[in-house]
Structure 1
Amino acid sequence: MVLRLRIPSIDWAGRGARCVRHARPSEKEDPWFDTSQYDEVLGVCNGSDIYEGPCPVRDYCLRFACVNNESAGVWGGMLPHDRHKLRQEAKADGIPLKEVEWEWHPPTEPDAPEEEILAAAADEEDDQP
Structure 2
Amino acid sequence: MPESPERTALYRLYDTDGQLLYIGITNDPDRRWTQHARSSRWWPAVATKQVEWLGDRRDALRAEKAEVKRLNPPYNRNWNPWEVRARLQYQDHLDREAAIKERLAVRSPGLMRTEFHDPD
- Same-fold status (TM-score > 0.5): no
Larger radius of gyration: 2
Q: TM-score, normalised by structure 2?
A: 0.28
Structure number with higher strand proportion: 2
